[in-house]
Amino acid sequence: MSILVNRNSKVVVQGITGRAGLFHTRQCRDYGTNIVAGVTPGKGGGVIEGIPVFDTVEEAVRATGADVSMIFVPPAGAADALLEAAAAGVGLAVCITEGIPVRDMVLAKRALQESATIMIGPNCPGIITPGECKVGIMPGDIHLKGRIGVVSRSGTLTYEAVKQLTVMGLGQSTCIGIGGDPIIGLNFIDALRMFNEDPETEGVCLIGEIGGGAEEEAALWIRNNMNKPVTAFIAGRTAPPGKRMGHAGAIVSGGKGRAEDKIRALQECGIPVAASPARMGETMAGAIKKVARR
């Protein structure tokens, strides 16, 4: 088992004919993802890499039964692409696009709340169920099928964690990058709830960073609801106040949003926090062993 995507997922790629869209379509397909359709307005009726291209998501869904969308549409049209995916009834929309204006996302998020579509991202690496389905830009080969869930606000830091887990023989059930923007779809708690209910996930590795209060909220939720071990890492302990570190969401200017507040909140809820990004795998291994001994 896994969460959100598996070997039965049928993926449509919005923006399939763009440079990044096409590159990652190939990568995902080579990994084993069942990519059934592409969408690029104006290019409907064509075929790219053997994949049929449609003008609209609705047509793609009708023709192929696609239930997951991977979005590579440029920022100016990305919110529209999300809404189109939702209107077409796609169950999961994974938006990789970085740099979508906040105003567009305020509306898109509100509209998606009214729909049955789950949004992952934007500005995220995507989601992977190792050995079954990769919907995103993460390197597939560092993953190992297994029983640890990974949920993260960061991209490459997630790869770092996954690699460490894999090296230690701790495979992953599903890994999700929820994105670093101030407005995102699926959040830590949503992912944790799903992992908690997934019988094949034994523990969850949570990777956060400075800015916002999502880690603190997740900490409380874990303490009150989680019946599996969770370990964490928070990036940005040495970020200077008031400076923006790459992600629009990663802003720290004192008070809440600081790494040390997040680390303290997590620890107070009994969640082990890795002292260094080089110890994310080790920390999870320790937590799993502790459960096994009990």
Partner 1 sequence: MTCRSLRDLDDPETNFEFFLNEFQVIGGGAAAAACFSLNSCLHAAILAPVLHERPQYGVIMNIHEYQAKEILRSFGIPVPQGRVAFREAQVERAARELGGRCVVKAQIYAGGRGKAGGVRLVATPEEAVQTAKNLFGKTLVTPQTGPEGLIVRRILVEEAVEVSREFYLSLTLDRQTSRYCIIASAEGGMEIEAIAEKSPEKIHLLTIDPFVGLRTYQARKLALALGMRGNVCEECVTLIMNLYRCCLEKDCSLVEINPLVVTGSDWLLAMDAKMNLDDNALFRHPEYQEMTDLSQIDPLEITAGEFDLSYIKLKGSIGCMVNGAGLAMATLDMLSEYGGEPANFLDVGGGAGRDRVAAAFRIILDDPAVKGVFVNIFGGIMRCDVIAEGIIQAASDTGCHLPIVVRMDGTLVEEGKRLLHESGLNVRFTHDLTEGVQAIVGMVR
- Give contact residues for partner 1 (rule: CB under 8 A): 20, 24, 75-76, 99-103, 105-107, 109-111, 125, 137-139, 142, 152-160, 163, 180, 182-183, 207, 209-210, 212-213, 216-217, 220, 233, 235-251, 253-259, 275-278
Identity of the residue, 228 or 247, whose beta carbon is nearer to partner 1 in the bound complex? 247
Total Cβ atoms within 10 A of residue 226: 19
CB of 281 to partner 1, least distance (A): 11
Q: Which is nearer to partner 1, 66 or 124 (CB)?
A: 124
Least distance between partner 1 and beta carbon 249 (Å): 8
User: Which residues are paired to 231 by β-bridges?
Assistant: 205
Answer yes or no: 247 catalytic: yes
Q: Residues 14, 69: contact at Cβ < 8 Å?
A: yes
> Of 65 and 99, which has the nearer Cβ to partner 1?
99
In this complex, which beta carbon is closest to partner 1, that of residue 74 or of residue 171?
74
| Closest approach of partner 1 to the CB of residue 81, in Å | 15
Helix segments in the chain, DSSP class H:
19-31, 57-64, 75-87, 102-113, 156-167, 188-197, 214-225, 259-268, 280-293
Strand 126-129 to 133-136 pairing: antiparallel
Q: Which is nearer to partner 1, 32 or 213 (CB)?
A: 213
Which tokens hold the place of 276? 């260094």
> Which residues, 6+ apart, have CB-to-CB distance to 290 below 8 Å?
229
Output 45 or 255, the one with its CB closest to partner 1: 255
Paired strand residues for 204 = 149, 230
Nearest to 209 by CA among 293, 272, 153: 153
Buried b (16+ CB within 10 A) or exposed e, 251-270: bbeeeebbbebbbebbeebe
Beta partners for 11? Answer: 35, 68
CB of 22 to partner 1, least distance (A): 13
Please, what is the minimum distance in Å from the beta carbon of residue 194 to partner 1?
A: 20
Instruction: Identify the active-site residue in 10, 153, 247, 262.
Output: 247
Maximum separation of any 2 CA atoms in the chain, in Å: 60
Considering the complex, what minimum distance in angstroms separates the CB of residue 279 from partner 1? 9
Adjacent-strand bridge partners of 206 = 151, 232
Active site residues: 247
